[in-house]
Amino acid sequence: MENKKLNAAGAPLKIGVLALQGAFIEHCNMLRKLDVEPIEIRRRVDFSDNLDGLIIPGGESTVMAKLLYELELLNPIKDAIANGLPTFGTCAGLILLSRQIEGAGEGAFPVLDVVTRRNAYGRQLGSFKTTSQFHGIGEIEMVFIRAPYVSEVYGQARVLAVVNEKVVAVEQGKVIAVAFHPELTEDTRLHEYFVKMIVNCQL
């Protein structure tokens, strides 16, 4: 336990990882590399209000939204994020955090002032890898899998990364969301960026 990252109260940092479907195991592994023990959120009882942060993984946003509703996790998580729970969304996570999804109304947790386009790269370029600049970090590897991109940024949302002239990462308040899968690379810097954000906003 001595090695664990601590929150402002001196307790080990508690970061929940939504574990309903999709690439959640890889996020848990990333957190462990950073000495943070992840808490898998599978059922309503797993989600408590003493979490320091939450990761919403990639997967299938429509399936995830349906499961969130059926498991009665939708409203508690929506309220917690709206009330300032630091949150990191990847791929489907970005879609769920968007105020507007093209052609599909708002996301399940609509806090980001963005319009997001699902499966935005079409069939030919559905999945690809690239490297690009990420604000505050530098060049990082980005893995896109049937990814969305952000087609419009307004209000308080701030752009963190652009690939092929499309916005692929944004930040707003205590929420970071990216269209790609940092958890599928060896690079922990983006998860570290999130952990630092949590610790800094507790100071």
List 13, 92, 111, 160, residue binding ligand GLN (CB under 6 A): 92
List 35, 46, 60, 113, residue binding ligand GLN (CB under 6 A): 60
Helix (H) or strand (E) holding 66, with range, is: helix 61-70
Rounded Cα–Cα distance for residues 68 and 184 (Å): 24
In whole angstroms, the minimum distance from the beta carbon of 58 to ligand GLN comes to 3
Residue 95 binding ligand GLN, by CB under 6 A: yes
In whole angstroms, the minimum distance from the beta carbon of 121 to ligand GLN comes to 10
8 A C-beta contact, residue 52 and residue 13: yes
Which residue, among 107, 115, 85, has the nearest Cα to 175 in the 3D structure?
A: 85
Burial grade of 98 (CB within 10 A; 0-12, 13-18, 19 or more): buried
Residue 81 binding ligand GLN, by CB under 6 A: no
In whole angstroms, the minimum distance from the beta carbon of 147 to ligand GLN comes to 6
List 36, 55, 111, 145, residue binding ligand GLN (CB under 6 A): 145
Residue 191 binding ligand GLN, by CB under 6 A: no
Residue 59 binding ligand GLN, by CB under 6 A: yes
Three-state DSSP at 79 gives helix
Q: Where are the beta strands (DSSP E) in 10-153?
A: 15-18, 38-41, 53-56, 87-90, 98-101, 112-117, 127-134, 138-145, 149-153
List 29, 48, 119, 133, residue binding ligand GLN (CB under 6 A): 119
Which residue, 5 or 146, is less far from ligand GLN as judged by CB? Answer: 146
